[in-house]
Amino acid sequence: MWANSYFLVQEFQEDNGVIRLTVNTTSIGGSGRWKDGISWDALQEIKSAVGYGDRDAVEIFPAQKDLVNVANMRHLWIVPESIPFAWRKDGH
């Protein structure tokens, strides 16, 4: 687990060498839920700061029937191998 004054990050070891990072803000909104609005840039910086800057990660947008949204929390799955369909800076 990592925390600073803005974000709380928890790491979970999943099957097949996958690591799941859960990320939420440390601020509570008027609804009693963590405040929303974690940017892509913030997630990329967090992934690097907790030691996975050299690994690909994915965020899942599930089928509507599988949707679970009980907290303003983001999930990044760090995968053990490079993702073959990802854009690469060198164009490959």
Q: Where are the domains of the chain?
A: 2-78
> Under 8 Å CB-to-CB from 92, ≥6 apart: which residues?
none
pTM of structure: 0.85
Amino acid at 51: G
Query: Degrees (nearest 5) of the Cα angle 79, 60, 41?
Result: 80
pLDDT band at 92 (very low <50, low <70, confident <90, very high): low
Output the average pLDDT for the chain.
Answer: 92
Q: pLDDT exceeding 90 applies to what percent of the chain?
A: 71
Model confidence over 15-36: pLDDT tens digits? 999 999 999 999 888 888 888 8
- Give the other-Cβ count within 10 Å of 91's Cβ: 5
3-state secondary structure of 48: helix
CA–CA dist 7, 22 (Å, integer): 10
